[in-house]
Every structure is written in C-alpha cells, then in structure tokens.
C-alpha cells in the first residue's frame, strides 16, 4: 500500500524547477563593487526637475562623475551566480554629510495590483502584470567599518555578535536603514520591482564612509538580469519629492535595460499612444506614471507583443460610453 502511494507521488513530481533559476550572464556579474557615489546636492536635485515637476534621474549631469570619479545616479544590472546558493548583489560607498541623506534603489520594471475592475481603469487594472520581467533588490545601509562582507567578493550585512559575561551571544544590528512595513514594523522590504529607500542620519559623521548594500532577491525570468537605478541624495526622503506623491516608481525612471537607449521619437507621447507601434520600457513607465493616461488602454494594444508588460486575463476595458455588466469581470 505504502509503495503504491509513493509511486503515485513520484509520478506527480516530474519537474526540477530549472525554469525559475536564471542563467549567468558574463556581462552582468552577480557580485559587484560600484565604488564611491557622491551625494546629489539639493541644487542638483532642483535642476533635475523638468517643467512638469518630474525628476529626470537619467539627466547627463547626474550620471556624470565628478572630479573625484563619483557618479550621482547609477544605472546598472546584476546577474545570476553559477551556483544558485550564492548570495548576489552590489555595494557602494558614500561620505556622510553631517546631515540627513536619502538612499534610493529602484529595480526594474513596474508592478501593479492584480485587481480586476470594469471601472477606475487607471488605478484598478484589467490586465495582469507580467511578473517575469520584474526583479527585486533589498536595500541596506550602515557604517563601512561595521560591514561584514567583502565588496565585490562576498555579500555581508551590518550585524555583529556580542558575547555577554555569561557567555551568551547576542546579535546586534548596526544597520542605519530603517524601512517600516504596513504594520509599522522595522526591517521591511518593498518587494518585486518596487522602489526602496531610507533616510540615513549622518550627524557627527561628516566625511565618514558609509556602505550601501543592494542584495539581489529576485532576478527577472526574461533575461536573468535585474537592472536598477540607485543614488544618494541630500536631505531626508520625506522632503525629496513633494507630498502627496513622495518617492515612488517614477522617481528613478528608465531603470529597465535599454530604456535609456530608446530614441526620442520612440519616447514621445505620439509614439506611445499609437497602438500600431511596438511597446517599449519608456512608454510603459510613462503611461504607468501618468495621472491622465490609462495603462489598461496601453495594455489592450500590446498584450500580444513579445515580452509585453501585460497579460490578457480575458477581461477588456469597456468603451467609455458602454454600460458596464458587473458579471463581466468574472469571480
């Protein structure tokens, strides 16, 4: 009897799960040391906002290194290790300013809610997000002197062990990157393709080196490389972008691979709104971040494209003048 049950169970386990393990890419090492970043000053930040009050992170002045070779905003990509059991990621350093700084990382591409709704077609999406093009990077920051890893060689953290007089070990965290979750618990992370950021108080640490840690948590299945944008900005995170918007997916834009290489014509509103034109990362993010354009309309035109950002779930947006059938959205 037992042998029969085991045979039945064995017959149902015919996959190794290799599809979910990305292949290494020699152009994108899984461990990287990015060197030192400069802290983007308040003046540089103000100059990077365009006429629509949008922060243009890929502006050449922010990407260019200063006289000390330090970039302001960094665009990069992390690949997969040969051995999936290895931890991957990148590290960078920056000097404390004596005040607050905001450290930000945005992994590709965008993520939206899976809700189905016949109305509110901008905020409640009728097309499912293609999760295969999403990556996830977890952020941490602390004093370089407390970092336990070796930049470019092995990932680490800011946890040290203290042994008390009774011989009991206690793990102490020296991380200075506090991210609160939905229940206000510290130590949270944002999740797939969602921006992470934290305010770091460098009072009394002017000129002292701190280390930023970008831990690879998830690689996109489409190409096995998680592209991202990262930077350190003068001031607190709450004051970086005016409320109520704050820091979101649209702050460090064009982080997807190749998005910044798209021609100006292919980034234009006329191009993106033409259903006959192929989708691209720049158009997707533009529509996603817009308060007036409808992502569902864009998805309706492009869900059949290769590597499209949207997956058809059989529910299509009704025409603006159509009467909505509540049963049309399914369960």
Q: Which of 289, 252, 244, 272 is nearest to 56 (CA)?
A: 252
The answer on pLDDT for 280 being more than 60 is yes
Question: Tens of pLDDT along 147-171?
Answer: 999 999 999 999 999 999 999 999 9
The answer on pLDDT for 330 being more than 60 is no
In a domain, 292, yes or no: no
Calculate the average pLDDT of the chain: 84
> What is the pLDDT, as a whole number, of residue 184?
61
> What is the pLDDT, as a whole number, of residue 74?
97
> What is the pLDDT, as a whole number, of residue 262?
87
> CA-CA distance, 219 to 254, in Å (whole number)?
18
In total, how many domains does the chain have? 1
> What is the pLDDT, as a whole number, of residue 298?
86
CATH number of the domain that residue 208 is part of: 2.60.120.380
Going by pLDDT thresholds of 50, 70 and 90, the confidence category of residue 116 is low
* pTM, to two decimals: 0.84
> CA-CA distance, 72 to 103, in Å (whole number)?
11
Going by pLDDT thresholds of 50, 70 and 90, the confidence category of residue 323 is very low
Mean pLDDT of the 315-329 span: 44
In a domain, 317, yes or no: no
In a domain, 50, yes or no: yes
217 by DSSP, 3-state: which? strand
Burial class from Cβ neighbours inside 10 Å (0-12, 13-18, 19+) for residue 206 reads: exposed
The answer on pLDDT for 322 being more than 50 is no
Higher pLDDT, 198 or 133: 198
The answer on pLDDT for 328 being more than 70 is no
> CA-CA distance, 47 to 40, in Å (whole number)?
11
Range of the domain at 209: 22-261
Going by pLDDT thresholds of 50, 70 and 90, the confidence category of residue 51 is confident
230 phi, psi to nearest 5 deg: -145, 155
41 phi, psi to nearest 5 deg: -70, 165
Mean pLDDT of the 87-104 span: 97
Alpha-carbon radius of gyration of the chain: 22
> CA-CA distance, 57 to 250, in Å (whole number)?
9
In a domain, 295, yes or no: no
> CA-CA distance, 59 to 40, in Å (whole number)?
12
Q: Which of 267, 291, 290, 289 is nearest to 278 (CA)?
A: 267
In a domain, 273, yes or no: no
In a domain, 324, yes or no: no
Helices and strands: H and E segment counts in the chain: 6, 13
In a domain, 320, yes or no: no
DSSP state of 154: B
In a domain, 164, yes or no: yes
Higher pLDDT, 100 or 308: 100
Residue environment code for 100-117, b if the CB has 16+ CB neighbours within 10 A, otherwise e:
bbbbbbbbbbbbbeeebb
Mean pLDDT of the 73-102 span: 95
Question: Tens of pLDDT along 229-256?
Answer: 999 999 999 988 865 578 888 899 889 8
> CA-CA distance, 18 to 256, in Å (whole number)?
24
The answer on pLDDT for 8 being more than 70 is no
235 by DSSP, 3-state: which? coil
């Amino acid at each position: 009897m037992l042998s029969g049950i085991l045979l039945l169970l064995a017959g149902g386990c015919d996959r190794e799960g290799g599809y979910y393990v990305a292949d290494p890419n020699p152009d994108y090492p899984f461990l990287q040391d990015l060197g030192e970043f400069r802290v983007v000053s308040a003046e540089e930040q103000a100059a990077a906002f365009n006429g629509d009050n949008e922060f243009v992170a890929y502006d050449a002045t922010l990407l260019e290194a200063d006289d000390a070779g330090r970039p302001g905003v960094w665009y990069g990509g992390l690949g997969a290790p040969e051995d999936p059991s290895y931890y991957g990621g990148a590290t960078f350093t920056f000097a404390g300013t004596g005040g607050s700084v905001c450290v930000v990382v945005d992994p590709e591409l965008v993520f939206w809610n899976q809700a189905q709704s016949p109305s509110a077609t901008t905020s409640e999406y009728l097309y499912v997000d293609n999760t295969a093009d999403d990556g996830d990077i977890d952020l941490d920051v602390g004093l370089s002197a407390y970092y336990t890893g070796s930049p470019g060689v092995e990932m680490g953290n800011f946890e040290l062990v203290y042994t008390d007089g009774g011989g009991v070990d206690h793990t102490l965290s020296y991380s200075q990157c506090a991210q609160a979750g939905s229940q206000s618990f510290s130590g949270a992370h944002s999740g797939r393709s969602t921006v992470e950021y934290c305010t770091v108080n460098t009072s009394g640490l002017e000129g002292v080196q701190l280390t930023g840690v970008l831990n690879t948590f998830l690689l996109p299945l489409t190409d096995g490389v998680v592209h991202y944008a990262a930077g350190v900005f003068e001031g607190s995170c709450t004051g970086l972008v005016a409320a109520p918007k704050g820091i979101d997916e649209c702050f460090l834009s064009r982080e997807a691979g190749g998005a910044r290489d798209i021609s100006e014509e292919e980034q234009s509103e006329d191009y993106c709104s033409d259903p006959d034109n192929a989708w691209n990362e720049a158009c997707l993010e533009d529509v996603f971040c817009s308060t007036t354009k409808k992502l569902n309309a864009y998805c309706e035109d492009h869900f059949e494209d290769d590597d499209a950002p949207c997956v058809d779930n059989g529910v299509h947006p009704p025409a603006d003048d159509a009467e909505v059938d509540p049963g049309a959205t399914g369960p």
